[in-house]
Structure 1
Amino acid sequence: MNSQTTPTLLVEPNTLLREGLKRILAETDYSPVALASSFDEALAGWETGVSPFLLIMDGARDHDEACDQVRQLKERYASARVLMLVDQYDLKQIITAFQAGADAYLIKSVSCEVLVKTLDLVMLGEVVFPSVVLELLREHALRADGETVVQSAEKVPDGTFQTKGLSVRETVILRCLMEGDSNKLIARKFDITEATVKVHVKAILRKIHAKNRTQAAIWAASHLPADEHASA
């Protein structure tokens, strides 16, 4: 454990699980400085001058409320990092958590090693979502294949992809990212160079305000209309 630890708040309504996490993290850089059963309890009396800090919170009991709390936290403490723990993975909930500002999203059955490594990445500024997200995105794409553009648009609170200024080529490449395609595979599909693909990917990330390909894929799942098999 490093000499400088990260101030960590742990919010978990289940007493047994809360104590278990406390013991797991006790010998790491993320030994909790505050334990609580609720979000409000955890933040009560928290020193605003301590920054950045890490919040590990339950997202299983009331996911919508947890996401609202993440939004509140980010508005109040912009540099705060948040790991949300859930009982199972659901694509819509993952997207909601990402949009709310969660920095990591893990199922409670992950190993201690995965938990700690995820926290390391989060404190380095990374956004970490489970690898199962790609499979969920593929399933989502298959289900959405027969939907109309209007039906898809009705589900998008922030408008369609067109409001982000994506070109037709960027849109089809974004769909490829949703499928988990590599730059090399995308280049082969459209008979372009990998360098050109990289340029398009960078433009996509910039336009939709995503930090990486995973974030872009998650954004696409809730914003792109049904695939009309367009080519560019």
Structure 2
Amino acid sequence: MSEPIHVNIIGRNEIVREGLKRILADQDFYVDCAVSCVDDLDTKNGSSVVIVDVNDIDEGLCVCADVRERCPTSRIVIMTDGYSMEDVSRAFATGDVDGYLVKEISCDPLAGALRLTALGEKVLPSQIASSLASGPASAMSRCWDTGASGTNLSAREVDILRCLVDGEPNKVISRRLNIADATVKVHIKAILRKLRVRNRTQAAIWAVSRGLAADAPADPNPLPALRPSLPVPGALPPQRAPDMQLARAS
């Protein structure tokens, strides 16, 4: 059996803190502390995951920045009542956030998401997967000219960005667009620079938040369906509305 993952919990709501503490203990996590502010954070044991429970995203990002300064090697997961594409994008763009979860997540997916985060994966709300699958009208109605204004992305970079949203690896992008792997890498570096993001995940979130998830370039040689590269534990059925509840865990 693997060693338990050490977790710290920060949040103003004592009931939420204690609920998370008990849930994680039942899931074989070791909770070092559950506190209301960063100043009370236990940094002696070097917890591998820090959960930041927030109601206000701006305040939450400030807390995450403080946690990052105190615990530079910890993985930070922000947990909120709800989400928006813009908030998720902002959170990951700071470089301080490694996971973003909503509080309606149930116990087992929560544990799985935290384990993925501890291993270095980026974890997003499962509702984003449903949004990509169903293509919400609010996102699809936005035009590319508005979403990409000021980025100076070329037409080819736009095509590759949309492939990144689909979670496609370089080899698949290369085949889909009929260009060399090395060319794909060059374009991706240019995309990251122009969007001022650090990695493919942040670039994909940037695109989704601006309604650019639809109309990926057609593949003349379609491949079998691929699993998304972004971990999205506990995905909800597409028809279910992403209303947020604290009912089960988180």
Normalised to the residue count of structure 1, the TM-score between the two structures is 0.70
Match of 2:161 in 1: 174
Instruction: Give the alignment's Cα RMSD to 1 decimal.
Output: 3.7
Which of 203, 209, 214 is matched with 1:216 structurally? Answer: 203
| 3-state DSSP of counterpart to 2:141 | helix
Are the aligned partners of 1:89 and 1:107 in contact in 2 as well (CA < 8 Å)?
Answer: yes
For residues 188 and 47 of structure 2, the distance between their equivalents in structure 1, rounded to whole angstroms, comes to 28
What is the count of residue pairs matched by the alignment? 209
For residues 81 and 205 of structure 1, the distance between their equivalents in structure 2, rounded to whole angstroms, comes to 26
Give unpaired runs (5+ residues) of structure 2. 218-250
Give unpaired runs (5+ residues) of structure 1. 154-159
Are the aligned partners of 1:86 and 1:106 in contact in 2 as well (CA < 8 Å)?
Answer: yes
Which segment drifts farther, 24-33 or 116-125?
A: 24-33
Match of 2:66 in 1: 72
Bigger helix share: 1
Measured after TM superposition, the shift of residue 144 of structure 1 is 2.1
Measured after TM superposition, the shift of residue 15 of structure 1 is 2.5
- Distance change in 2, residues 1:51/1:17 (3 Å): closer
Measured after TM superposition, the shift of residue 8 of structure 1 is 1.7
- Distance change in 2, residues 1:210/1:134 (3 Å): farther
Does residue 105 of the first structure (1) align with residue 104 of the second (2)?
no
Are the aligned partners of 1:10 and 1:42 in contact in 2 as well (CA < 8 Å)?
Answer: no
Higher relative contact order (CA 8 A, sep 6+): 2
Measured after TM superposition, the shift of residue 217 of structure 1 is 0.9
Measured after TM superposition, the shift of residue 76 of structure 1 is 3.5
Are the aligned partners of 2:38 and 2:66 in contact in 1 as well (CA < 8 Å)?
Answer: no
For residues 150-187 of structure 1, the C-alpha deviation after alignment (integer angstroms, 9 at most, x for no partner) is xx65xxxxxx433xxx5431222103433x27468866
For residues 75 and 167 of structure 2, the distance between their equivalents in structure 1, rounded to whole angstroms, comes to 29
Measured after TM superposition, the shift of residue 39 of structure 1 is 2.6
Measured after TM superposition, the shift of residue 219 of structure 1 is 2.5
Match of 2:80 in 1: 86
| 3-state DSSP of counterpart to 1:13 | coil
Are the aligned partners of 1:205 and 1:211 in contact in 2 as well (CA < 8 Å)?
Answer: no
- Distance change in 2, residues 1:177/1:134 (3 Å): farther
1:104 counterpart letter in structure 2: G
For residues 110-164 of structure 1, the C-alpha deviation after alignment (integer angstroms, 9 at most, x for no partner) is 1211111111111111111123224546546423217647xx65xxxxxx433xx
- Distance change in 2, residues 1:42/1:19 (3 Å): same
| 3-state DSSP of counterpart to 1:26 | helix
Measured after TM superposition, the shift of residue 89 of structure 1 is 2.5
Measured after TM superposition, the shift of residue 75 of structure 1 is 3.2
For residues 210 and 16 of structure 2, the distance between their equivalents in structure 1, rounded to whole angstroms, comes to 36
Match of 1:133 in 2: 128
